Structure formats: C-alpha cells, structure tokens
Amino acid sequence: MHMDQTTEAIAHFIGLFSQAVEEVRLRLDYEDFRALPQEPLEQNELLNVQINIVSPYSLEGFKPQVEYTPPPIDRFDAQVSVTVSHDPIPLNYDGGGAQEMASSGKASAIAPGTGQVFAEYQPLGSLALYLKQEARLEDNDYLSIGDHGLVLDSIVDTDAALAALIQAASTLQPFADLHEPGSAAEIGDFIMHVPLIADAFVETLEESEAVFVSRDENVEGKFVNGEEVEELPTLDAYLPNEIEDSEESDGTGTDFSTQATMNIEAGANLLVNEAILINDWYGTPVLAIAGDYIHLNAISQLNVWSDNDTTSDTLSGWKSLTQAPTQAFNVATIQTIDNRPPPGIESAESVPVFPAYWQVSRIDGDLMLANWIKQVSFVEDNDITVMSASGGGTEIVLGDNTVINATSLAALGNYYDLIIVGGSVYHANIISQTNILLDNDFVGAVGNFQTTGEASLSTGGNLLWNEASITQYGTMSFDTMPPSYLEALDKLAEGSGPAPQSLLSGSDFAGLTNIKVLYISGDVVDLQYVSQINVLGDADQVALAKSQTSADTDADWSISTGSNALINQAAIADGGVNSTTYTGGAVYSDELLIQAELISNDTDLYTQGADALVSEAVAFLSDDLLAPSESDGGQNSQDAPMPDGGTADVMQTMLG
C-alpha cells in the first residue's frame, strides 16, 4: 500500500521500536536462563530396590579326573630356610639309541638300564633390582601466639650448619655414595674396586677420630660401637619416650580446663630406613670354578650429630622432662651358620651308593645377581616460635613427623648338587648406614617473663640407631681343582654328553643316585648392596614472653624440642649349605667392619648467651601494626610478618 512520506516514517519507527523491545525481552529471558545452572539441582529420593538371587548350583572343588603319580626319584633336598625343589619328569623311551642321543646333546641325562631319558630343565637366569627410595620433608614452622606484641626473627643459619655436618660425614663414610654398576662386567670391576676403597679410607684416618675398623679374611661376631659383645641391645629399650607416647596416645594428655597450660612439642621426629634382602637364588654343596673366587663382606656405620642447646638463665629452675642425653648406637652382626646337607643313602650292605648319571642345566654366558637398594630420608623441622600463656589449655605440635622407607626382597631359586663355572665368581655383600642430626635448640625468655606454675623443658633425648647384619648359611672350604672336575669342565664346554665316570664315582657325590648340575660358561657376579641415609635438621628457636593483656604468671609450661629418632636397619641373608669349592685360580676373601661416631661441638650457631640473643632477635611491633584496621571494624589486628626460613638443599653429595 502506498503511504505518504510522514505515515511511512511513523510506521518505520514503530517497526524498529518493536524489534528493540523484543531484543530486550530476549536478553532478560537469557539472563534468567543463564542463572538456572547455578542453582543446585534437587535430589530425588533414592530408589530402594531389593534383589534376591537364587542359584540352584554350588561351587565344588576342582576335580580334573586325572590321576597321576610320578615315579619315585631320589633327590637332594637342601636344608635351608626356603628351598625350591625340582622333580624331573621321565619320558618313556625304549632305550634304543640312547647313547647316541646323549652324545648328540638331545637329552641331558640317560639312566642306564632303565629305558628312561631325563629331559634337560631350564635354569633360572640373571636377576637385577635397582631401587631408590627417597623421602623429603620441609616442616619449618613459624608460630606466634598470645598477646605479647612481638616478632621473632631467625637467629642463625641452620642450613649452613646442617651442610657442615653433611660435609663432615662424607669423609667418614666410604660406601654411601657409590655409583651403581649396570652390567656383569661393571659389577665384577666394582667388587674388585671395593678393597681399594677400604685401603684408601683406612690410610686417611687420624688417631683422634672415633672410628673402629676391623678387617680380616674372616670377621665374625656381634659388635656395638666398636666393641665385641655377647648380647646386642634392643631398639625398644632406647626409643625416646615422646615417640612411644605418640604411638600409644589416646588424645587425653592435655588438660583443656580454665587452668593456663602450655604444651609445646617441636621435636619427636621419627626417620626410619629398613631393608631386608634374602639371596637364595642358587646353592650347592660342591662348586667348581675354572677361574678365581672373590668374596667380600662390608658393613660401614656412621652417626654424626650436634646437640648444643642454648637456654635462658630465667629457665634454670625448670625441671627436665628426661634425664637421657642424646645417644648413638652402631650395632652390627657378621656370622656364618653351619648348615649341613642331609646324608646320602646306602645299600643294604652299608655300602655307599654312587650316581649313575647327571642332569645338566646350562647358562651360556654370565650369571648376574644384583640387588642395589638406596634409601634416603631428609627432613628439615627448624621451627621458630614466640608465645605467651593464654587462659586455658593449649597443645602445640610443630614436629612429630614420621618418614619411613622400607623394602623387603627374597630372591628364591634352585639348589644343585654341583655348579661348574667356566669363568670366575665375584660375590659381595655391602651395607652402608649414615645418621646425621642437627638439634642445636635455642630457648629464651623476653624481658620479665616468669611463671610460678609447673614448668619443664627438654632439649635432648635424641636417638641415632644403626643396625646391620650379614648372615651366611653354610660354611665353605677351598681346594684345588681335581682332574675329574677338569674333565667335566672340558666336556661341558664342548657341549652336552654323559658324565665322566671319575666324577660320578667321586666321594663328593656318595649316596646320590643322580646329580643335578648347573653349568655356567662365563662369570658369576653376585652383588647385594644397601645404602641408608637419615638427615634431620631440628634446630628449634623458642622465645617466651609475658602477655600484655593478661597476668597468667601461674601458667604450667611443658616444652620439648628434642626426642628425635633416626633409625637404619638392614639385613642381608645368603642362603646355602656347607660346601666344598674347587678353584683353578686364586681365592680372595675380605671382610670389613667400620663403626664411627662424630659429635660436633662447634657449629657456630649460638655464639652468645640466650638472653643476649633473644634481645637482638625479638622486636616489638610498631603501634601501627598493633592498632586495629578500619576495614575489619576494629576487631582484629594484623599478623606479624613471617621470617624467611630458607629452603636451600643442603644434601650435596650424600644423595649421589
């Protein structure tokens, strides 16, 4: 429809206005829609569905309906804590061409006159475990409690003091930071290098150092802090009371009544490294080695600690929570336990029975057995506190940390009547244990602080405990290689075949109807290594002040900044039986025990008295900081600035 110019302009305006109104309506609806997801959904009631399942069938035991009874076979059962037995299954064979099969290597053993062929069984191969357990904890707390209006800055550099102790420990521990070998050849070189490390360590010792070293071909006995003893101490008898109480606590230790009571625990940290290795991979009463036999046992234990505390003269009348000072123990056991194999059988005429054949299992190459375990616990618990008593029971725990590294490994394998090695045998058991503790605490009183209530203070009572044992089951005797074993070695080097008659009729195998043999063409490298390190920095700084708004001079105080426990426990057990070892080369045996303790009395932490130090470190807050802020309606005052505790890594070379 044609409209005049004015009517058309009015209609156009009305249309634009209608579109604008619709856009506004859509926008309002969209805002409501967008707000809907923010509202919590209403939960419907849960359905209560009961399902009853009834089955007419019941499970019974497994019955394959197969009856099988293997024929009786005389075998050698090793008398050890854990054994793995192997019963070869005879294959029916008519006996024809038996000698040809034996000479061709298609069968490992043939029982003459029985018509049975015993198939060669697969031996267990190499085993290697490299395990590192590391626990790090920083618990450097700053606590300001009470109406004292004070702030406490850090008095000393605890990181530098702890680093100095670590550096001192590195010179007294030769086996803590060794590089792990990766191949059989590297393990052999590593074992050969251990005596050189021990020689260099002994040469660098000074007469003034408290280091006990016992080294010989056969070191055996029980040792505590460098002295041989009949009975070993127990760990439970020396654990700090605070740690035992925390394990048995029921939460009723603090009186939360109107009586002003302040209980502060800034120590009681527990660091534990525990490792148990059982090496029962192979064993034999007779071992024939074409090359050399090298055997090493080494235990190295070190405790390094500093517990030089500084307390204010104002607290001289406080009673001590514990009279026990810091104690350090190095406990070691090296022993060989007699483990005779069972006697052989005899005929009816009491004549010894000799084997008629052998069963051979082959390993072409080296046999590597390596268990490398390193455990490290590093804890910093350097707490800084300034406090005054309040009008009730107060329980403050700034320490009481627990760090545990634990592992247990049992390598269980096979036992043989004879093991023949074409190369050499390298065998070493090494345990290295280190405890490092910095517990130089500072407890000071500000100004006219005093209390007439019961007051007790404990800054020591720490425990450093190293406990290690190496146990060999079965004695060893050595002799030169007899001709019969040389003949067997040459025959096995060429391939499979029947056993030399001179070997079968030897006295070593009297009483056996057949012998199980393991042949290794290369070397045997057997390394069991455990390294344990505990490092704890627990240099606490405590300032006690009088409250500005209350007069709780009769408050009861109980403060403990020590009672830490650093524990290393390791055990290596070598399974076996009494054996005779024939070698074509040299025999080298070395056993080493190192027990050392370093007590540091000069860490340069507190060069002045407690009263002088606390007057320098404690600062009164300004009136502006004490005044309430307007933003909170005058209800709360601002917190004091927190000092910088530092987070430097001071482990240096001890982690490796």
Tens of pLDDT along 435-493? 999 999 989 888 788 888 888 899 989 999 999 999 999 999 999 999 999 999 999 99
For residues 231-240, average pLDDT: 93
Work out how many domains the chain is built from and give that number.
2
| Domain identity same for 490 and 602 | yes
Percent of the chain surpassing pLDDT 90: 46
Strands (E), 41-125: 90-92, 109-111, 116-118
Report the alpha-carbon distance of residue 458 to residue 558 in Å, rounded: 8
| Domain identity same for 102 and 134 | no
Q: Tokens 């061709």 belong to which residue?
A: 104
For residues 544-562, average pLDDT: 82
pLDDT of 107 strictly over 60: no
Report the alpha-carbon distance of residue 185 to residue 183 in Å, rounded: 5
Report the alpha-carbon distance of residue 637 to residue 626 in Å, rounded: 6
Largest pairwise CA distance in the chain: 144
For residue 234, tell me if it sits in a domain.
yes
For residue 107, tell me if it sits in a domain.
yes
- Is residue 471 within 8 A of residue 333, CB to CB? The reply is yes
Predicted pLDDT at 118: 45
Of 213 and 630, which is predicted with more confidence? 213
For residues 414-430, average pLDDT: 95
Confidence of residue 30 (pLDDT cuts 50, 70, 90): low
For residues 421-437, average pLDDT: 97
Of 552 and 190, which is predicted with more confidence? 190
For residue 383, tell me if it sits in a domain.
yes
| Domain identity same for 455 and 366 | yes
Report the alpha-carbon distance of residue 360 to residue 121 in Å, rounded: 8
pLDDT of 313 strictly over 50: yes
Report the run of H or E that residue 190 belongs to, with start and end.
helix 184-204
Q: How would you list the strands of the sheet with 565-574, edge to edge?
A: 227-229, 221-224, 327-337, 463-473, 565-574, 270-283, 402-415
Q: How many CA atoms lie within 13 A of 291 on its CB side?
A: 14
For residues 286-294, average pLDDT: 96
Other C-beta atoms lying within 10 Å of the C-beta of residue 3? 10
Beta bridge partners of 374: 132, 531
Average pLDDT, the chain: 81
Strands (E), 9-92: 90-92
Q: pLDDT tens digit string along 144-177?
A: 888 888 888 888 888 999 999 999 999 999 998 8
| Domain identity same for 538 and 604 | yes
Beta bridge partners of 301: 433, 595
**Dihedrals phi, psi of 237, to nearest 5 degrees:** -75, -15
pLDDT of 259 strictly over 80: no
- Is residue 359 within 8 A of residue 517, CB to CB? The reply is yes
Report the alpha-carbon distance of residue 588 to residue 217 in Å, rounded: 8
Of 449 and 85, which is predicted with more confidence? 449
| Domain identity same for 445 and 560 | yes
For residue 11, tell me if it sits in a domain.
no
Report the alpha-carbon distance of residue 8 to residue 502 in Å, rounded: 129
For residue 315, tell me if it sits in a domain.
yes
pLDDT of 409 strictly over 70: yes
| Domain identity same for 341 and 451 | yes
End-to-end CA distance of the chain: 96
- Is residue 273 within 8 A of residue 375, CB to CB? The reply is yes
Predicted pLDDT at 467: 97
- Is residue 516 within 8 A of residue 282, CB to CB? The reply is no
Report the alpha-carbon distance of residue 328 to residue 334 in Å, rounded: 20
Task: Report in angstroms the alpha-carbon separations of 581 from 50, 286, 485.
Answer: 72, 6, 11
pLDDT of 262 strictly over 70: yes
| Domain identity same for 482 and 345 | yes
Q: Going by C-beta distance under 8 Å and a sequence separation of 6 or more, which residues neighbour residue 549?
A: 147
Q: Provide the residue type at 478 as one letter.
A: F
Q: pLDDT tens digit string along 264-275?
A: 999 999 999 999
Structure tokens at 56: 């007419």
Q: Tokens 């004695």 belong to which residue?
A: 475
Strands (E), 318-401: 319-320, 327-337, 358-363, 367-380, 384-387, 393-397
| Domain identity same for 347 and 482 | yes
What DSSP designation does 27 have? H
Report the alpha-carbon distance of residue 359 to residue 87 in Å, rounded: 11
Of 488 and 251, which is predicted with more confidence? 488
Q: Is 53 helix (H, G, I), strand (E, B) or coil?
A: coil
Pairing between β-strand 109-111 and β-strand 116-118 as defined by DSSP bridges: antiparallel
For residues 135-141, average pLDDT: 94
Could you tell me how far CA 317 lies from the centroid of its own chain? 42
Beta bridge partners of 276: 408, 571
- Is residue 212 within 8 A of residue 225, CB to CB? The reply is yes
| Domain identity same for 158 and 115 | no
Q: Provide the residue type at 91 as one letter.
A: L
Predicted pLDDT at 532: 97
For residue 335, tell me if it sits in a domain.
yes
For residue 636, tell me if it sits in a domain.
no
For residue 256, tell me if it sits in a domain.
no
| Domain identity same for 95 and 163 | no
Task: Report in angstroms the alpha-carbon separations of 494 from 142, 385, 418, 422, 488.
Answer: 74, 77, 18, 12, 10
Task: Report in angstroms the alpha-carbon separations of 191 from 198, 425, 456.
Answer: 12, 11, 53
Kindly report which listed range (290-304, 365-379, 574-588, 605-619) carries the lowest average pLDDT score.
605-619
Report the alpha-carbon distance of residue 431 to residue 571 in Å, rounded: 8
**Dihedrals phi, psi of 246, to nearest 5 degrees:** -70, -30
Pairing between β-strand 579-583 and β-strand 384-387 as defined by DSSP bridges: unpaired
**Dihedrals phi, psi of 614, to nearest 5 degrees:** -70, -30
Nearest to 642 by CA among 154, 114, 118, 121: 154
Structure tokens at 522: 């290369």
| Domain identity same for 480 and 356 | yes
pLDDT of 647 strictly over 50: no
Kindly report which listed range (68-77, 149-158, 218-227) carries the lowest average pLDDT score.
68-77
Range of the domain at 514: 127-139+154-240+266-398+427-622
